[in-house]
Amino acid sequence: MSGQNFSVRTESEKLAEIDAIAKAQDRSRNYVVNEAINAYLAEEQHWITKVKEGLAAAESGDFVSNGEVDVLFKGFEDKAR
């Protein structure tokens, strides 16, 4: 895979944590940072997809009823007791 270089400024404590993880995994700092970027991008894409699905459902009028919400919250209240 071909890549591009870029710079990121971060606190020295974070860099030390990245280096410790890289050492523990017998990997490079570059590998650990790229894995973190991949995980972040996947999580954000998942969130964006879910938001779009929710907006599409709302636009089509697909809502839960007040009764369904009441049942859900009653379940939470019962578990909290």
> Scanning the structure block, which residue is given the tokens 């999580």?
43
Residue 52: inside a domain:
yes
Residue 70: inside a domain:
yes
CA proximity to 35, closest of 22, 17, 16 = 22
What's the CA gap between 16 and 41, in Å, rounded?
Answer: 23
As given in the structure block, the two tokens for residue 72 are: 């859900």
Residue 2: inside a domain:
no
Give the pLDDT confidence of 55-77 residue by residue, as tens digits: 999 899 888 888 888 888 887 77
Give the pLDDT confidence of 27-44 residue by residue, as tens digits: 999 999 999 999 999 999
**Number of residues that this document lists for the chain:** 81
Does the reported pTM lie above 0.75? no
- The whole domain housing 53 covers 12-80
> What per-residue confidence (pLDDT) applies to 64?
82
Residue 22: inside a domain:
yes
